[in-house]
Amino acid sequence: MPLGARRSRCVAEPPTPLLRRLKLLTLTAADHAGLFTLTANSHWRRNRLVILCYHGVSLADEHEWSDVHISEERLTRRLETLRELGCALLPLGEAVERLKVGELEGPSVVVTFDEGLYDFYLKAYPLLKAFDIPSTLYVPTYYSNFQRPIFDLACSYFLWRGRGRTIESGRLLPGTPRVRIPVSAAARSEMHLKMRAHVYTMGFSAVEKDQILAELAFQVGVNWDDFLDSRSLQLMSPSELSSLDPSLVDVQLHTHRHRTPRSEAMFMREVRDNVDALAAMGFARDERRHFCYPSGDADPAFFPWLEAMGIETATTCEPAYATRRTPLLNLPRVVDTMAVTDVEFRAWITGFARLLPRRRHRRYSDVELGTEVWNKLPASDAKVIPIRDHIVPQGAAGSDREVPIAHAHRHDRGSPRVSSDALTFRHREPRRADPR
Ligand SMILES: [Zn+2]
């Protein structure tokens, strides 16, 4: 999200409750009138592909903290809906091949999961098995080898758990020894982003960041040992990843450290480190051909680099239907969250969603940060607008380490995207082991 002072400039309010209610009423009426069934069986929908994107499935209360974590009950209902609507549920590779030659049958859907959190293993995997639904799992491998909570996620989660409390800011914030954690989600997100920026600036190691998390957990009343034991917000271990049935779960690429440097060499290293780490777990190198942009950061500059590495498809978080003309390195995905109602989900799957007016606001959920923002879309940017991380690195410096130094207005680099105001970054030489 835009940070602090410039928020009003480019972040608009979400759609009003009244407009949203009207939309939901319209969708419900259309569904009852059989229009969803008509569009599901239409020629138009047969030539479109929906790629669904999921992140986490709650182990406890994570879906109340961040709605990109969905409850197990919600995921079950989604899979039931896909079956009930008679969807062709395809592996990604087969789906895009069929899309290109016009051989999709019925309303076709691909299911993808990002991150490879332990909750996938515990909650989603058994459901995918029970429903016999293939999926693609994009894994950033650093935290698979470093079996601790992901710093950015856990920090945001702990702040949510401790909302309203006053804590010693310690190594999280400079110059303010005691701070009250805001109750409002927007103010809390802002605090989290400042903490995150400070931690990156200080260049703390993964182990130090883990200690900082433990201190924060103590202050907000979360039992650190229990939290570690729950494996909440940790990735699957290498042995858990290796044990997944490859006919049901296709483990693919998401960069090693969940980042997208602008330097070709650094970007390629991220992907190659990711391939290497998965190869060490037994995943054949030549089958890692599918990539997912971390935080949906799909800069067209990446396309030739991915192509050169033999990557065949790459997915974004742009909610749209894929057609045979969609570039395979810019495949849209519909991010399903707790905020998506059942009727909206059915509208997307059946194809009815295409009849809805174009949205003027886009909701940005950042899985790294467990936060969200709303951006107003200029009309000229209405087509291809990949979701952006909150961080906009400046230029193409030869580093994958992005260190925030100041709040500044986003510069326009002319790429077809909408972004927010953001921190600007100076770059320093990366350390190979730097995690996100
Ligand atoms: Zn991700």
CA of 218 to the centre of ligand 1 (A): 27
CA of 84 to the centre of ligand 1 (A): 29
CA of 34 to the centre of ligand 1 (A): 37
CA of 178 to the centre of ligand 1 (A): 32
Please give the pLDDT value at position 326: 96
Bridge-based pairing of strands 334-335 and 249-253 is unpaired
CA of 382 to the centre of ligand 1 (A): 24
Query: What is the pTM (predicted TM-score) of this model?
Result: 0.81
CA of 250 to the centre of ligand 1 (A): 16
HSE (side-chain half, CA atoms, 13 Å) at 324: 12
Closest CA to 145 of 252, 290, 257: 257
Q: pLDDT for 134-145, tens place per residue?
A: 999 999 999 899
| DSSP per-residue letters across 3-59 | -GGGHHHH-PPPPPHHHHHHHHHHHHHHHHTTHHHHHHTSHHHHT-EEEEEE-EE-S
CA of 254 to the centre of ligand 1 (A): 7
More confident residue, 377 or 47: 47
Bridge-based pairing of strands 401-408 and 422-428 is antiparallel
CA of 396 to the centre of ligand 1 (A): 22
Closest CA to 251 of 225, 284, 214: 284
Determine the 3-state secondary structure of 100 from DSSP.
helix
Crossing angle between the packed helical segments 72-84 and 342-350, to the nearest 10 degrees: 40
Cα three-residue angle 42-43-47, rounded to 5 degrees: 115
CB 331, CB 316: distance < 8 Å: yes
Closest CA to 364 of 375, 356, 353: 375
CA of 367 to the centre of ligand 1 (A): 6
CB 49, CB 95: distance < 8 Å: yes
Average pLDDT over residues 6-17: 46
CB 354, CB 378: distance < 8 Å: no
CA of 11 to the centre of ligand 1 (A): 23
CA of 137 to the centre of ligand 1 (A): 10
CA of 138 to the centre of ligand 1 (A): 8
Q: pLDDT for 98-121, tens place per residue?
A: 999 999 998 999 999 999 999 999
* Bridge partners, 112 (sequence order): 53, 136
Q: Which two tokens stand for residue 278?
A: 């998965």
Tally of residues, the chain: 436
CA of 390 to the centre of ligand 1 (A): 13
Eight-state DSSP code of residue 359: P
CA of 292 to the centre of ligand 1 (A): 8
Q: pLDDT for 303-355, tens place per residue?
A: 999 999 999 999 999 899 999 999 999 999 999 999 999 999 999 999 998 88
Please give the pLDDT value at position 16: 67
* Bridge partners, 235 (sequence order): 117
- Contacts of residue 25, defined as CB under 8 A and 6 or more positions apart, other chains included, come to none
Bridge-based pairing of strands 178-180 and 166-168 is antiparallel
CATH class belonging to 4-142+246-428: alpha beta
Closest CA to 150 of 232, 71, 61: 232
Distance CA 159, CA 192 (A): 8
Closest CA to 258 of 434, 16, 119: 434
pLDDT above 70 (res 414): no
Please give the pLDDT value at position 7: 32
Q: pLDDT for 164-206, tens place per residue?
A: 999 998 888 888 889 999 999 999 999 999 999 899 889 899 9
Mean pLDDT of the chain: 82
CA of 416 to the centre of ligand 1 (A): 21
Q: How does residue 20 score in pLDDT terms, banded at 50, 70 and 90?
A: confident
Distance CA 82, CA 88 (A): 9
CB 1, CB 189: distance < 8 Å: yes
CA of 271 to the centre of ligand 1 (A): 13
CA of 263 to the centre of ligand 1 (A): 20
CA of 113 to the centre of ligand 1 (A): 9
φ, ψ dihedrals at 152, nearest 5°: -60, -40
CA of 322 to the centre of ligand 1 (A): 20
CA of 115 to the centre of ligand 1 (A): 5
